[in-house]
Amino acid sequence: MSDPLLAKLLADRNCSLASPDPAIWIHLASESELASEAARIKERADRGVDMPLKGLTFAVKDNIDVVGWPTTAACPDFSYVATEDAPVVALLREAGAVPLGKTNLDQFATGLVGTRSPYGAVRNVFSKAHVSGGSSSGSAAAVARSQVDFALGTDTAGSGRVPASFGALWGLKPTRGLWSTRGVVPACRSLDCVSVLTRDPDLAETVWQILSQIDPSHAWSRSFPASSPSKLPSAFRFGIPRGGVPFLADPLWVPLWEQAIESLRARGGTPVEIDFAPFEETARLLYEGPWTAERWADLGGFVSSHPSSVHPVTKTILEKGQIPTASQAFTSLHRLRELQAQVEATFADIDLLALPTAGHLPTLEEVSCDPIGENSFLGRGTNFCNLLDLCAFAVPAGFDPRGLPFGITLFAPAYHDQVLIQAAHRLIDSPRSNGRMELAVAGLHLRGEPLNHELTSRGGHLVRTTRTSSDYKCYRIVRGERRFPGLVRSGSGSPIEVEIWSLPMAGAGSFLATCVRPPLCLGTLELEDGTTAMGFLCEDWAVEGMEDITASGSWRKSKNDNPPGGRSTSS
Protein backbone atom coordinates (compact mmCIF):
# COMPACT_ATOMS: atom_id res chain seq x y z
CA MET A 1 0.00 0.00 0.00
CA SER A 2 1.49 3.33 -1.11
CA ASP A 3 0.09 5.47 1.73
CA PRO A 4 1.98 4.55 4.94
CA LEU A 5 -0.52 6.40 7.16
CA LEU A 6 -3.50 4.55 5.73
CA ALA A 7 -1.53 1.31 5.96
CA LYS A 8 -1.01 1.93 9.69
CA LEU A 9 -4.67 2.77 10.26
CA LEU A 10 -5.83 -0.36 8.45
CA ALA A 11 -3.24 -2.47 10.30
CA ASP A 12 -4.62 -1.22 13.63
CA ARG A 13 -8.15 -2.01 12.46
CA ASN A 14 -7.15 -5.49 11.30
CA CYS A 15 -5.37 -6.09 14.62
CA SER A 16 -8.58 -5.15 16.40
CA LEU A 17 -10.74 -7.34 14.17
CA ALA A 18 -8.44 -10.27 14.91
CA SER A 19 -8.49 -9.60 18.66
CA PRO A 20 -8.48 -12.69 20.88
CA ASP A 21 -11.11 -10.92 23.01
CA PRO A 22 -14.27 -10.12 21.00
CA ALA A 23 -15.76 -8.15 23.90
CA ILE A 24 -13.35 -5.21 23.55
CA TRP A 25 -14.99 -3.39 20.65
CA ILE A 26 -18.62 -2.32 20.18
CA HIS A 27 -18.03 -0.40 16.93
CA LEU A 28 -15.05 -0.10 14.58
CA ALA A 29 -14.36 2.52 11.91
CA SER A 30 -14.86 1.31 8.36
CA GLU A 31 -12.01 1.14 5.84
CA SER A 32 -13.57 4.03 3.90
CA GLU A 33 -13.76 6.15 7.07
CA LEU A 34 -10.09 5.49 7.80
CA ALA A 35 -9.18 6.33 4.19
CA SER A 36 -11.03 9.63 4.60
CA GLU A 37 -9.18 10.34 7.87
CA ALA A 38 -5.82 9.58 6.23
CA ALA A 39 -6.62 11.92 3.34
CA ARG A 40 -7.69 14.67 5.75
CA ILE A 41 -4.49 14.37 7.77
CA LYS A 42 -2.35 14.37 4.61
CA GLU A 43 -4.09 17.50 3.32
CA ARG A 44 -3.51 19.29 6.62
CA ALA A 45 0.11 18.13 6.77
CA ASP A 46 0.69 19.47 3.25
CA ARG A 47 -0.53 22.85 4.50
CA GLY A 48 1.98 22.74 7.33
CA VAL A 49 -0.55 22.26 10.15
CA ASP A 50 1.11 21.16 13.38
CA MET A 51 -0.35 17.83 14.50
CA PRO A 52 1.43 16.44 17.58
CA LEU A 53 -0.60 13.20 17.43
CA LYS A 54 -0.41 12.77 13.65
CA GLY A 55 -1.47 9.27 12.63
CA LEU A 56 -1.91 7.86 16.12
CA THR A 57 -5.07 5.81 16.66
CA PHE A 58 -7.22 5.99 19.76
CA ALA A 59 -10.17 4.07 21.16
CA VAL A 60 -13.21 5.91 22.51
CA LYS A 61 -15.18 4.53 25.43
CA ASP A 62 -18.73 4.07 24.19
CA ASN A 63 -20.23 6.67 26.47
CA ILE A 64 -18.38 9.44 24.59
CA ASP A 65 -19.79 10.83 21.33
CA VAL A 66 -18.09 10.42 17.96
CA VAL A 67 -19.97 12.05 15.10
CA GLY A 68 -21.90 9.58 12.96
CA TRP A 69 -21.30 6.67 15.29
CA PRO A 70 -23.74 5.16 17.78
CA THR A 71 -23.26 5.87 21.47
CA THR A 72 -24.62 2.94 23.47
CA ALA A 73 -23.16 3.30 26.99
CA ALA A 74 -23.22 -0.54 26.74
CA CYS A 75 -27.01 -0.52 26.54
CA PRO A 76 -28.30 -1.22 22.99
CA ASP A 77 -31.77 0.17 23.68
CA PHE A 78 -30.25 3.44 24.91
CA SER A 79 -28.26 3.87 21.69
CA TYR A 80 -28.31 7.08 19.64
CA VAL A 81 -26.19 8.32 16.73
CA ALA A 82 -24.03 11.29 17.72
CA THR A 83 -24.50 14.44 15.64
CA GLU A 84 -21.13 15.89 16.61
CA ASP A 85 -17.87 14.89 18.25
CA ALA A 86 -17.49 15.36 21.98
CA PRO A 87 -14.96 18.19 22.44
CA VAL A 88 -12.30 15.75 23.69
CA VAL A 89 -12.63 13.76 20.47
CA ALA A 90 -12.67 16.89 18.30
CA LEU A 91 -9.48 18.22 19.92
CA LEU A 92 -7.66 14.92 19.44
CA ARG A 93 -8.70 14.86 15.79
CA GLU A 94 -7.40 18.40 15.39
CA ALA A 95 -4.09 17.14 16.77
CA GLY A 96 -3.96 14.44 14.07
CA ALA A 97 -5.20 11.43 16.01
CA VAL A 98 -7.71 9.04 14.45
CA PRO A 99 -10.57 7.38 16.38
CA LEU A 100 -10.47 3.67 15.54
CA GLY A 101 -13.74 2.72 17.21
CA LYS A 102 -15.93 2.61 20.32
CA THR A 103 -15.08 0.28 23.20
CA ASN A 104 -17.03 -1.76 25.72
CA LEU A 105 -17.65 -0.64 29.30
CA ASP A 106 -19.52 -1.44 32.47
CA GLN A 107 -23.00 -0.30 31.47
CA PHE A 108 -23.61 3.43 31.99
CA ALA A 109 -20.05 3.62 33.41
CA THR A 110 -21.35 2.07 36.62
CA GLY A 111 -18.76 -0.41 37.85
CA LEU A 112 -15.07 -1.10 38.39
CA VAL A 113 -15.01 -4.71 37.17
CA GLY A 114 -15.55 -4.76 33.39
CA THR A 115 -18.21 -7.48 33.47
CA ARG A 116 -21.51 -5.54 33.48
CA SER A 117 -22.18 -5.37 29.75
CA PRO A 118 -24.49 -7.13 27.30
CA TYR A 119 -21.56 -7.09 24.88
CA GLY A 120 -19.66 -9.47 27.16
CA ALA A 121 -17.11 -9.28 29.94
CA VAL A 122 -13.76 -7.93 28.79
CA ARG A 123 -11.00 -10.38 29.70
CA ASN A 124 -7.87 -9.44 31.60
CA VAL A 125 -4.96 -9.30 29.17
CA PHE A 126 -2.73 -11.31 31.52
CA SER A 127 -5.22 -13.88 32.83
CA LYS A 128 -8.51 -15.08 31.37
CA ALA A 129 -9.65 -16.01 34.87
CA HIS A 130 -9.43 -12.43 36.19
CA VAL A 131 -11.42 -9.27 35.50
CA SER A 132 -10.13 -6.50 33.28
CA GLY A 133 -11.31 -3.76 35.59
CA GLY A 134 -13.88 -1.17 34.62
CA SER A 135 -15.76 0.72 33.72
CA SER A 136 -13.31 1.67 30.94
CA SER A 137 -12.62 -2.01 30.33
CA GLY A 138 -12.56 -2.05 26.53
CA SER A 139 -10.43 1.08 26.29
CA ALA A 140 -7.81 -0.38 28.63
CA ALA A 141 -7.75 -3.75 26.88
CA ALA A 142 -7.41 -2.15 23.43
CA VAL A 143 -4.33 -0.26 24.60
CA ALA A 144 -2.86 -3.19 26.54
CA ARG A 145 -3.16 -5.37 23.44
CA SER A 146 -1.57 -2.61 21.30
CA GLN A 147 -4.62 -2.38 19.06
CA VAL A 148 -4.49 1.42 19.42
CA ASP A 149 -1.89 3.91 20.57
CA PHE A 150 -4.05 5.28 23.40
CA ALA A 151 -7.64 5.40 24.55
CA LEU A 152 -10.19 7.66 26.16
CA GLY A 153 -12.03 6.40 29.22
CA THR A 154 -14.10 8.10 31.85
CA ASP A 155 -13.38 8.21 35.56
CA THR A 156 -16.03 9.13 38.11
CA ALA A 157 -15.06 6.69 40.85
CA GLY A 158 -11.91 5.02 39.50
CA SER A 159 -13.20 3.80 36.15
CA GLY A 160 -10.06 4.93 34.33
CA ARG A 161 -7.52 4.03 37.00
CA VAL A 162 -8.58 0.49 37.97
CA PRO A 163 -8.56 -0.93 34.40
CA ALA A 164 -5.27 0.87 33.76
CA SER A 165 -3.75 -0.87 36.77
CA PHE A 166 -5.16 -4.28 35.76
CA GLY A 167 -3.72 -3.80 32.26
CA ALA A 168 -0.25 -2.57 33.33
CA LEU A 169 -1.01 0.84 31.81
CA TRP A 170 -0.70 4.50 32.70
CA GLY A 171 -4.09 6.05 33.49
CA LEU A 172 -4.30 9.83 33.91
CA LYS A 173 -7.41 11.32 35.53
CA PRO A 174 -7.09 15.09 35.27
CA THR A 175 -8.48 17.72 37.58
CA ARG A 176 -12.27 17.55 37.43
CA GLY A 177 -13.59 19.90 34.72
CA LEU A 178 -10.21 20.49 33.13
CA TRP A 179 -11.23 18.30 30.16
CA SER A 180 -14.72 18.93 28.85
CA THR A 181 -17.31 16.25 29.57
CA ARG A 182 -19.78 17.65 27.07
CA GLY A 183 -20.82 14.84 24.77
CA VAL A 184 -20.32 12.24 27.53
CA VAL A 185 -23.27 10.22 28.83
CA PRO A 186 -23.48 11.36 32.48
CA ALA A 187 -22.74 8.93 35.27
CA CYS A 188 -22.57 11.46 38.08
CA ARG A 189 -22.53 14.79 36.28
CA SER A 190 -20.84 16.92 38.96
CA LEU A 191 -18.01 14.39 39.37
CA ASP A 192 -17.49 12.93 35.88
CA CYS A 193 -14.08 13.12 34.22
CA VAL A 194 -12.70 11.94 30.90
CA SER A 195 -9.42 10.05 31.35
CA VAL A 196 -6.66 8.74 29.09
CA LEU A 197 -4.98 5.32 29.08
CA THR A 198 -1.57 4.87 27.49
CA ARG A 199 1.47 2.62 27.46
CA ASP A 200 3.81 5.44 28.52
CA PRO A 201 3.52 8.73 30.42
CA ASP A 202 4.88 10.90 27.60
CA LEU A 203 1.82 10.28 25.46
CA ALA A 204 -0.45 10.84 28.46
CA GLU A 205 1.22 14.20 29.00
CA THR A 206 0.76 15.19 25.35
CA VAL A 207 -2.94 14.31 25.50
CA TRP A 208 -3.26 16.27 28.76
CA GLN A 209 -1.80 19.37 27.10
CA ILE A 210 -4.13 19.07 24.11
CA LEU A 211 -7.35 18.50 26.08
CA SER A 212 -6.79 20.99 28.92
CA GLN A 213 -8.88 23.74 27.35
CA ILE A 214 -11.85 25.66 28.65
CA ASP A 215 -15.16 24.72 27.03
CA PRO A 216 -17.35 27.84 27.14
CA SER A 217 -20.38 25.76 26.14
CA HIS A 218 -20.16 23.47 29.16
CA ALA A 219 -21.19 24.55 32.65
CA TRP A 220 -18.81 22.13 34.41
CA SER A 221 -15.71 23.20 32.46
CA ARG A 222 -12.87 24.80 34.42
CA SER A 223 -9.78 26.64 33.18
CA PHE A 224 -6.25 25.82 34.29
CA PRO A 225 -4.81 28.65 36.41
CA ALA A 226 -1.49 30.00 35.16
CA SER A 227 -0.24 30.03 38.75
CA SER A 228 -0.66 26.28 39.20
CA PRO A 229 2.50 24.37 40.18
CA SER A 230 4.24 22.63 37.29
CA LYS A 231 7.26 21.03 38.97
CA LEU A 232 7.74 18.34 41.57
CA PRO A 233 10.49 19.43 43.99
CA SER A 234 13.71 17.41 43.75
CA ALA A 235 13.12 16.53 47.41
CA PHE A 236 9.43 15.84 47.93
CA ARG A 237 7.13 14.31 50.53
CA PHE A 238 4.54 11.65 49.72
CA GLY A 239 1.80 10.43 51.99
CA ILE A 240 1.09 6.78 52.80
CA PRO A 241 -1.58 5.47 55.21
CA ARG A 242 -0.50 5.32 58.83
CA GLY A 243 -0.28 1.70 59.98
CA GLY A 244 -0.44 0.28 56.46
CA VAL A 245 -2.91 0.29 53.59
CA PRO A 246 -6.24 -0.93 55.04
CA PHE A 247 -7.49 -2.34 51.73
CA LEU A 248 -4.30 -4.09 50.52
CA ALA A 249 -5.71 -7.62 50.74
CA ASP A 250 -3.44 -9.61 48.42
CA PRO A 251 -0.30 -10.74 50.30
CA LEU A 252 1.59 -11.12 47.01
CA TRP A 253 1.13 -7.39 46.41
CA VAL A 254 2.57 -6.28 49.75
CA PRO A 255 6.22 -6.56 48.61
CA LEU A 256 5.34 -4.77 45.36
CA TRP A 257 3.81 -1.93 47.37
CA GLU A 258 6.94 -1.78 49.53
CA GLN A 259 9.08 -1.69 46.38
CA ALA A 260 6.97 1.19 45.05
CA ILE A 261 7.59 3.14 48.26
CA GLU A 262 11.32 2.50 47.94
CA SER A 263 11.22 3.56 44.30
CA LEU A 264 9.67 6.89 45.28
CA ARG A 265 12.19 7.24 48.09
CA ALA A 266 15.08 6.58 45.68
CA ARG A 267 13.84 9.40 43.46
CA GLY A 268 13.88 12.05 46.18
CA GLY A 269 10.73 11.21 48.09
CA THR A 270 10.25 11.02 51.83
CA PRO A 271 7.29 8.89 52.97
CA VAL A 272 5.02 10.60 55.49
CA GLU A 273 2.39 8.60 57.34
CA ILE A 274 -1.01 10.27 57.17
CA ASP A 275 -4.47 9.68 58.62
CA PHE A 276 -6.29 7.81 55.88
CA ALA A 277 -9.69 7.85 57.65
CA PRO A 278 -11.01 11.02 55.90
CA PHE A 279 -10.27 9.47 52.50
CA GLU A 280 -12.05 6.23 53.41
CA GLU A 281 -15.09 8.02 54.79
CA THR A 282 -15.30 10.14 51.63
CA ALA A 283 -15.06 7.01 49.47
CA ARG A 284 -18.07 5.54 51.25
CA LEU A 285 -20.12 8.69 50.59
CA LEU A 286 -20.09 8.13 46.84
CA TYR A 287 -22.27 5.02 46.79
CA GLU A 288 -23.58 4.91 50.36
CA GLY A 289 -24.54 8.59 50.36
CA PRO A 290 -26.87 10.74 48.25
CA TRP A 291 -24.69 10.94 45.13
CA THR A 292 -26.56 7.91 43.80
CA ALA A 293 -29.48 10.34 43.39
CA GLU A 294 -27.45 12.32 40.87
CA ARG A 295 -27.06 9.19 38.74
CA TRP A 296 -30.79 8.56 39.01
CA ALA A 297 -31.52 12.17 37.99
CA ASP A 298 -29.85 11.59 34.63
CA LEU A 299 -30.63 7.92 33.98
CA GLY A 300 -33.73 7.17 36.09
CA GLY A 301 -36.19 8.00 33.34
CA PHE A 302 -34.61 5.49 30.97
CA VAL A 303 -34.30 2.81 33.66
CA SER A 304 -37.96 3.22 34.64
CA SER A 305 -39.19 2.99 31.05
CA HIS A 306 -36.79 0.23 29.95
CA PRO A 307 -36.26 -1.93 33.05
CA SER A 308 -35.45 -5.09 31.09
CA SER A 309 -32.80 -3.26 29.03
CA VAL A 310 -30.56 -2.53 32.02
CA HIS A 311 -28.01 -4.96 33.44
CA PRO A 312 -29.45 -6.36 36.71
CA VAL A 313 -26.54 -5.21 38.88
CA THR A 314 -26.47 -1.78 37.25
CA LYS A 315 -30.22 -1.46 37.73
CA THR A 316 -29.92 -2.32 41.44
CA ILE A 317 -27.27 0.36 41.94
CA LEU A 318 -29.08 3.05 39.96
CA GLU A 319 -32.40 2.42 41.71
CA LYS A 320 -30.75 3.25 45.04
CA GLY A 321 -30.78 6.82 43.78
CA GLN A 322 -34.51 7.05 44.50
CA ILE A 323 -33.96 6.67 48.26
CA PRO A 324 -31.96 9.71 49.50
CA THR A 325 -33.89 12.73 50.72
CA ALA A 326 -32.99 16.37 50.22
CA SER A 327 -32.07 16.71 53.90
CA GLN A 328 -29.74 13.71 53.60
CA ALA A 329 -28.10 15.36 50.61
CA PHE A 330 -27.39 18.53 52.56
CA THR A 331 -26.15 16.59 55.58
CA SER A 332 -23.71 14.72 53.36
CA LEU A 333 -22.60 17.90 51.60
CA HIS A 334 -21.81 19.49 54.95
CA ARG A 335 -19.88 16.41 56.05
CA LEU A 336 -18.02 16.31 52.74
CA ARG A 337 -16.86 19.89 53.27
CA GLU A 338 -15.51 18.93 56.70
CA LEU A 339 -13.64 15.99 55.14
CA GLN A 340 -12.32 18.21 52.36
CA ALA A 341 -10.90 20.59 54.97
CA GLN A 342 -9.12 17.69 56.71
CA VAL A 343 -7.66 16.50 53.41
CA GLU A 344 -6.54 20.02 52.51
CA ALA A 345 -4.65 20.13 55.79
CA THR A 346 -3.05 16.76 54.95
CA PHE A 347 -1.84 18.02 51.58
CA ALA A 348 -0.36 21.09 53.24
CA ASP A 349 2.27 18.69 54.61
CA ILE A 350 2.82 16.47 51.54
CA ASP A 351 3.27 16.93 47.80
CA LEU A 352 1.62 13.67 46.77
CA LEU A 353 -0.44 10.83 48.14
CA ALA A 354 0.58 7.33 47.03
CA LEU A 355 -1.67 4.28 47.26
CA PRO A 356 -2.06 0.88 45.63
CA THR A 357 -4.65 1.44 42.90
CA ALA A 358 -6.55 -1.63 44.10
CA GLY A 359 -6.20 -4.07 46.97
CA HIS A 360 -6.44 -7.20 44.86
CA LEU A 361 -7.37 -8.40 41.38
CA PRO A 362 -10.56 -10.49 41.63
CA THR A 363 -11.45 -13.39 39.40
CA LEU A 364 -14.52 -13.44 37.19
CA GLU A 365 -15.95 -16.10 39.50
CA GLU A 366 -15.43 -13.96 42.59
CA VAL A 367 -17.21 -11.04 40.96
CA SER A 368 -20.03 -13.28 39.83
CA CYS A 369 -20.55 -14.53 43.38
CA ASP A 370 -20.48 -11.06 44.97
CA PRO A 371 -20.82 -8.44 42.22
CA ILE A 372 -21.51 -5.43 44.43
CA GLY A 373 -19.19 -6.39 47.29
CA GLU A 374 -16.18 -7.01 45.06
CA ASN A 375 -16.82 -3.82 43.13
CA SER A 376 -17.10 -1.80 46.34
CA PHE A 377 -13.84 -3.21 47.62
CA LEU A 378 -12.05 -2.14 44.43
CA GLY A 379 -13.26 1.42 45.02
CA ARG A 380 -11.74 1.85 48.46
CA GLY A 381 -8.62 3.42 46.99
CA THR A 382 -10.35 5.35 44.22
CA ASN A 383 -13.89 6.53 45.08
CA PHE A 384 -12.82 9.52 47.15
CA CYS A 385 -10.83 11.22 44.39
CA ASN A 386 -13.37 13.42 42.61
CA LEU A 387 -15.38 14.20 45.73
CA LEU A 388 -12.18 15.62 47.25
CA ASP A 389 -11.32 17.44 44.00
CA LEU A 390 -8.03 15.62 43.43
CA CYS A 391 -6.23 14.69 40.23
CA ALA A 392 -4.68 11.24 39.91
CA PHE A 393 -2.24 9.23 37.83
CA ALA A 394 -2.32 5.42 37.87
CA VAL A 395 1.18 4.01 37.37
CA PRO A 396 2.19 0.40 36.59
CA ALA A 397 4.41 -0.99 39.38
CA GLY A 398 5.41 -4.52 38.42
CA PHE A 399 4.03 -8.04 38.35
CA ASP A 400 3.45 -10.55 41.11
CA PRO A 401 4.69 -14.18 40.93
CA ARG A 402 1.47 -15.23 39.16
CA GLY A 403 2.15 -12.76 36.36
CA LEU A 404 -0.65 -10.41 37.45
CA PRO A 405 0.01 -6.66 37.22
CA PHE A 406 0.22 -4.39 40.24
CA GLY A 407 -0.14 -0.63 40.11
CA ILE A 408 -0.08 2.42 42.32
CA THR A 409 -1.88 5.73 42.01
CA LEU A 410 -0.42 9.13 42.78
CA PHE A 411 -2.85 11.84 43.94
CA ALA A 412 -2.51 15.60 44.25
CA PRO A 413 -4.88 18.55 44.78
CA ALA A 414 -6.78 20.11 41.88
CA TYR A 415 -4.60 21.76 39.22
CA HIS A 416 -1.48 19.86 40.34
CA ASP A 417 -1.72 17.63 37.26
CA GLN A 418 1.75 18.59 36.02
CA VAL A 419 3.23 17.68 39.40
CA LEU A 420 1.82 14.17 38.98
CA ILE A 421 3.19 13.94 35.45
CA GLN A 422 6.61 14.99 36.75
CA ALA A 423 6.41 12.30 39.42
CA ALA A 424 5.49 9.68 36.83
CA HIS A 425 8.55 10.55 34.78
CA ARG A 426 10.71 10.15 37.83
CA LEU A 427 9.49 6.58 38.20
CA ILE A 428 10.73 5.43 34.79
CA ASP A 429 13.62 5.98 32.46
CA SER A 430 11.80 8.47 30.31
CA PRO A 431 12.29 8.78 26.54
CA ARG A 432 12.94 12.47 27.07
CA SER A 433 16.19 11.52 28.85
CA ASN A 434 17.12 9.03 26.10
CA GLY A 435 16.68 6.23 28.61
CA ARG A 436 15.05 3.92 26.06
CA MET A 437 16.07 1.55 23.31
CA GLU A 438 14.28 0.47 20.15
CA LEU A 439 13.83 -3.14 19.14
CA ALA A 440 12.49 -4.66 15.91
CA VAL A 441 10.19 -7.69 16.27
CA ALA A 442 8.72 -9.86 13.54
CA GLY A 443 6.81 -12.72 15.15
CA LEU A 444 5.08 -13.62 18.39
CA HIS A 445 5.82 -10.21 19.94
CA LEU A 446 3.88 -8.32 17.25
CA ARG A 447 0.68 -6.56 18.27
CA GLY A 448 -2.08 -9.05 18.87
CA GLU A 449 0.33 -11.99 19.07
CA PRO A 450 0.62 -14.21 22.18
CA LEU A 451 3.82 -12.71 23.57
CA ASN A 452 3.18 -9.02 22.87
CA HIS A 453 2.48 -8.51 26.57
CA GLU A 454 6.18 -9.20 27.27
CA LEU A 455 6.84 -5.82 25.63
CA THR A 456 3.84 -3.85 26.91
CA SER A 457 4.25 -5.07 30.49
CA ARG A 458 7.79 -3.64 30.49
CA GLY A 459 6.63 -0.19 29.42
CA GLY A 460 7.07 -0.81 25.70
CA HIS A 461 5.15 1.16 23.11
CA LEU A 462 4.89 0.78 19.37
CA VAL A 463 6.87 3.34 17.39
CA ARG A 464 6.01 2.30 13.85
CA THR A 465 5.41 -0.61 11.49
CA THR A 466 7.90 -0.99 8.66
CA ARG A 467 9.76 -3.65 6.64
CA THR A 468 13.28 -4.95 6.34
CA SER A 469 15.34 -4.46 3.22
CA SER A 470 15.08 -7.14 0.54
CA ASP A 471 18.22 -8.89 1.84
CA TYR A 472 16.29 -11.19 4.19
CA LYS A 473 14.60 -14.55 4.03
CA CYS A 474 12.10 -15.73 6.61
CA TYR A 475 11.48 -19.31 7.71
CA ARG A 476 8.86 -20.98 9.86
CA ILE A 477 10.86 -22.54 12.70
CA VAL A 478 9.29 -25.56 14.37
CA ARG A 479 10.48 -26.65 17.82
CA GLY A 480 8.09 -29.21 19.28
CA GLU A 481 4.71 -27.50 19.49
CA ARG A 482 6.21 -24.04 19.08
CA ARG A 483 6.27 -22.24 15.74
CA PHE A 484 7.96 -18.91 15.22
CA PRO A 485 9.69 -17.02 12.41
CA GLY A 486 13.43 -16.97 11.82
CA LEU A 487 14.96 -14.07 9.87
CA VAL A 488 18.21 -14.82 8.04
CA ARG A 489 20.18 -12.26 6.07
CA SER A 490 20.88 -14.01 2.80
CA GLY A 491 21.66 -11.15 0.43
CA SER A 492 18.63 -11.95 -1.70
CA GLY A 493 15.07 -12.22 -0.48
CA SER A 494 12.10 -9.89 0.07
CA PRO A 495 11.09 -7.19 2.56
CA ILE A 496 9.62 -8.67 5.75
CA GLU A 497 7.16 -6.81 8.01
CA VAL A 498 8.57 -5.75 11.39
CA GLU A 499 7.38 -3.53 14.22
CA ILE A 500 9.72 -1.13 15.98
CA TRP A 501 9.08 -0.98 19.73
CA SER A 502 10.52 1.45 22.26
CA LEU A 503 11.39 0.09 25.71
CA PRO A 504 12.71 1.83 28.85
CA MET A 505 16.24 0.62 29.51
CA ALA A 506 15.27 -1.31 32.63
CA GLY A 507 12.48 -3.07 30.76
CA ALA A 508 14.71 -3.69 27.77
CA GLY A 509 17.34 -5.32 29.96
CA SER A 510 14.76 -7.62 31.50
CA PHE A 511 13.30 -8.47 28.08
CA LEU A 512 16.65 -9.26 26.49
CA ALA A 513 17.78 -11.30 29.48
CA THR A 514 14.74 -13.58 29.43
CA CYS A 515 13.48 -13.63 25.83
CA VAL A 516 16.55 -14.08 23.62
CA ARG A 517 17.48 -17.75 23.41
CA PRO A 518 18.95 -19.97 20.71
CA PRO A 519 18.42 -20.29 17.84
CA LEU A 520 17.60 -16.57 17.94
CA CYS A 521 20.17 -13.89 18.55
CA LEU A 522 20.30 -10.12 18.50
CA GLY A 523 21.68 -8.40 15.43
CA THR A 524 21.39 -5.33 13.28
CA LEU A 525 18.51 -5.34 10.82
CA GLU A 526 18.62 -3.17 7.73
CA LEU A 527 15.25 -1.57 7.05
CA GLU A 528 13.72 -0.72 3.69
CA ASP A 529 14.31 3.03 4.20
CA GLY A 530 18.05 2.43 4.63
CA THR A 531 18.11 2.86 8.41
CA THR A 532 18.98 0.09 10.85
CA ALA A 533 17.45 -1.30 14.03
CA MET A 534 18.43 -3.87 16.64
CA GLY A 535 16.30 -6.96 16.20
CA PHE A 536 16.05 -10.73 16.22
CA LEU A 537 17.97 -12.85 13.72
CA CYS A 538 18.10 -16.62 13.43
CA GLU A 539 21.21 -18.77 13.28
CA ASP A 540 21.72 -20.41 9.88
CA TRP A 541 21.72 -23.98 11.19
CA ALA A 542 18.20 -23.65 12.57
CA VAL A 543 16.54 -22.99 9.20
CA GLU A 544 17.72 -26.17 7.50
CA GLY A 545 14.66 -28.14 6.42
CA MET A 546 12.28 -25.40 7.60
CA GLU A 547 9.53 -23.89 5.44
CA ASP A 548 10.54 -20.75 3.55
CA ILE A 549 7.77 -18.19 4.12
CA THR A 550 9.60 -15.20 2.62
CA ALA A 551 7.04 -14.73 -0.15
CA SER A 552 4.30 -13.95 2.37
CA GLY A 553 6.20 -10.88 3.55
CA SER A 554 4.79 -11.21 7.05
CA TRP A 555 4.54 -13.71 9.89
CA ARG A 556 0.90 -12.77 10.35
CA LYS A 557 0.04 -13.67 6.77
CA SER A 558 1.97 -16.91 6.82
CA LYS A 559 1.08 -18.44 10.16
CA ASN A 560 -1.27 -21.37 10.64
CA ASP A 561 -2.25 -23.10 13.85
CA ASN A 562 0.28 -21.07 15.85
CA PRO A 563 -0.13 -22.34 19.43
CA PRO A 564 -1.43 -19.64 21.79
CA GLY A 565 0.18 -18.78 25.11
CA GLY A 566 3.34 -20.25 26.55
CA ARG A 567 6.81 -18.78 26.50
CA SER A 568 8.83 -18.63 23.36
CA THR A 569 12.19 -17.39 22.26
CA SER A 570 10.63 -15.86 19.17
CA SER A 571 10.62 -12.18 18.38
Q: Is 430 considered catalytic here?
A: no
Which among 135, 139, 212, 502 is annotated as catalytic? 135
Give the pLDDT score at 323. Answer: 93
Number of domains composing the chain: 2
pLDDT over 80 (residue 267):
yes
Which among 8, 16, 61, 173 is annotated as catalytic? 61
Residue ending a domain, choose from 428, 461, 495: 428
Q: Is 61 considered catalytic here?
A: yes
Give the pLDDT score at 339. Answer: 98
The mean per-residue pLDDT over the stretch 89-115 comes to 97
- Please provide residue 507's backbone torsions phi and psi, each rounded to the nearest 5 degrees: -65, -35
pTM of the model: 0.79
At 551 the three-state DSSP class reads helix
Mean pLDDT in the chain? 91
Q: What is the pLDDT of residues 436-452, one digit of tens each?
A: 678 999 998 888 788 88
Q: What is the pLDDT of residues 303-344, one digit of tens each?
A: 999 999 999 999 999 999 999 999 999 999 999 999 999 999
**What is the rounded CA–CA span in Å between residue 131 and residue 111?**
12
Q: Is 305 considered catalytic here?
A: no
* Statement to judge: residues 370 and 494 lie in one domain: no
570 found inside a domain: no
Res. 435 pLDDT band, cuts 50 70 90: low
* Statement to judge: residues 88 and 176 lie in one domain: yes
Provide the 8-state DSSP code for 510: H
Where is pLDDT greater, at 492 or 64?
A: 64
pLDDT over 80 (residue 509):
no
Which among 146, 159, 430, 502 is annotated as catalytic? 159
Give the pLDDT score at 331. Answer: 95
Contacts of 550 (CB under 8 A, 6+ apart): 472, 473, 474, 475, 493, 494, 496
CB 73 within 8 A of CB 109: yes
Position 531, amino acid: T
* Statement to judge: residues 239 and 217 lie in one domain: yes
Residue ending a domain, choose from 428, 462, 495: 428
Position 536, amino acid: F
CB 97 within 8 A of CB 41: no
CATH of the domain at 189: 3.90.1300.10
Residue ending a domain, choose from 397, 428, 459: 428
Q: What is the pLDDT of residues 213-228, one digit of tens each?
A: 999 999 999 999 988 9
Give the pLDDT score at 566. Answer: 34
CB 445 within 8 A of CB 460: no
